[in-house]
Chain A
């Protein structure tokens, strides 16, 4: 039997600090027990939820497969297909079940093509899942709108374009990105028309995604990119420059020439690269003539271009910049000289008595 009197006496005679420590220990012990029970409860509920999800998933997968194989050649819904659709219609009223069905549909849509993919799309329409996706677009929460657009894109619902188009300039970049991807995925190059009205910047990441999407399609007939090269939105101009380079837009030469005088330095530098890619020697001669009017970054960019397209006739031009005040230009000029006239380069290395120049000559030798 526990001697309670002894415990009481011990506690009463204990200093306050020790009492306080006992209280804190008791409090911590209770907290640990409560948290352990809570953790156990969370784990149990999560496990239950995941079991239910797995159960519903396998149930819907079986129903979907049954639906896909119970169609006939007429293309009309058969009785058994109608029964399955009605069963699913009841289930999708619950958001969690709707989420599972959409994920099952999407998983399969990515893997199969042809008639089966069309049947999945019909299933999406007939069950009313499309209605819920449209409802998401009316939400006040930006993440819900984004998810709605993404779902409509993944299922290729092109009739949603008029409802999605107003999100082109949405304040949240995630919604804008989803809108841009929707437009290009469903309407290819025509979908790029959103660039006409784009006020917000087009991030580098979304530009890459758009280009990747465009390259996936067989039809590579690009529309006129000139309006975007003249856009007031700098990111649109930079994207159009990428399009010009990838799709070899030789016909936009005049517009590219105008861009050499653009107020944005990044655009001017990119334009030099595109001109070099499209017109090579022709662009080089033109830039050589205007070299002194270019900014330092543009001059460096031009020397990088010259490195690729150099011919012996460029020697006097290169020689003139061997003592340029900018290190990078000097280094590039030296490298080019070594490439086109090795004897002159050796002569230069022997005559050079400046420490800085000698260090650079050494660096070029190593290259």
Chain B
């Protein structure tokens, strides 16, 4: 059976590694990008089932990733965004651009797994 693909765009390498470890254990295939530009390349080449993206990233922000995905590529792939305290405005913008869910940092990886399962199943 084919594993479901997830693209994770996160500039904190420790968090990326932690989530990769956790989600691969849950049976997903993870593609990690350290910035928005790399994330867009991975999205176009891997056609993932879900995208996890931090809002603040170098070069191309999470908002730009969502906008590119929804308006340029016309893809409806579910997107979960990560936001830090004080980025509430950004979260609203992310939803307006087409994000499906958000998680405020610090978050529990277990909760993230539940939300992912709810969106794309196992």
- Kindly list chain A residues whose C-beta atoms are within 8 Å of the C-beta of B13: 57-58, 61
Residues from 83 to 111 in B contacting A, C-beta threshold 8 Å: 85, 105-110
- Interface locus among B14-22, B38-46, B55-63: B14-22
Nearest CB on B from A73, distance (A): 13
Q: Contact between A65 and B12 (Cβ–Cβ < 8 Å)?
A: no
A364 at interface (Cβ–Cβ under 8 A)? no
Residues from 168 to 218 in A contacting B, C-beta threshold 8 Å: 216
Residues from 10 to 38 in B contacting A, C-beta threshold 8 Å: 12-15, 17-18, 21-22, 25
Assembled-state Cα–Cα distance A104/B110 (Å): 21
Q: Contact between A117 and B106 (Cβ–Cβ < 8 Å)?
A: yes
Q: Contact between B15 and A108 (Cβ–Cβ < 8 Å)?
A: yes
A27 at interface (Cβ–Cβ under 8 A)? no
Residues from 86 to 120 in A contacting B, C-beta threshold 8 Å: 104, 107-117
User: Hey, what's the 0/1 contact readout for A56-68 against B, CB within 8 Å counting as 1?
Assistant: 0110011011001
**B interface: dominant SS:** helix
- Kindly list chain A residues whose C-beta atoms are within 8 Å of the C-beta of B18: 65, 68, 108, 112, 116
Nearest CB on A from B114, distance (A): 13
- Kindly list chain B residues whose C-beta atoms are within 8 Å of the C-beta of A109: 106
Total residues of chain B contacting the partner, CB 8 A: 16
Q: Contact between B22 and A111 (Cβ–Cβ < 8 Å)?
A: no
The contact size tier of chain A is 20 to 34
> Out of A57, A61, A68, A113, which one reaches B107, CB within 8 Å?
A113
Q: Contact between B108 and A65 (Cβ–Cβ < 8 Å)?
A: no
- Kindly list chain A residues whose C-beta atoms are within 8 Å of the C-beta of B25: 69
Q: Contact between B107 and A112 (Cβ–Cβ < 8 Å)?
A: yes
A65/B17 contact (C-beta < 8 A), A113-B108, A114-B110, A116-B108 known: yes
A69/B15 contact (C-beta < 8 A), A110-B105, A116-B109 known: no
- Kindly list chain B residues whose C-beta atoms are within 8 Å of the C-beta of A68: 18
Nearest CB on A from B15, distance (A): 5
Nearest CB on B from A310, distance (A): 35
Chain A: which residue is nearest B107 at the CB level?
Answer: A113
Q: Contact between B106 and A69 (Cβ–Cβ < 8 Å)?
A: no
Nearest CB on B from A107, distance (A): 5
- Kindly list chain A residues whose C-beta atoms are within 8 Å of the C-beta of B106: 109-113, 117
Assembled-state Cα–Cα distance A112/B110 (Å): 10
Among A64, A107, A113, A115, chain B packs the most CB atoms within 10 A around the CB of A113
Nearest CB on A from B28, distance (A): 15
Q: Contact between A61 and B108 (Cβ–Cβ < 8 Å)?
A: no
Nearest CB on B from A311, distance (A): 37
User: Hey, what's the 0/1 contact readout for A108-146 against B, CB within 8 Å counting as 1?
Assistant: 111111111100000000000000000000000000000
Assembled-state Cα–Cα distance A115/B106 (Å): 12
Q: List 14 A-B contacts (CB under 8 A).
A: A61-B17, A62-B17, A65-B14, A65-B21, A69-B21, A108-B15, A110-B105, A111-B15, A111-B106, A112-B106, A113-B107, A114-B110, A116-B108, A216-B85
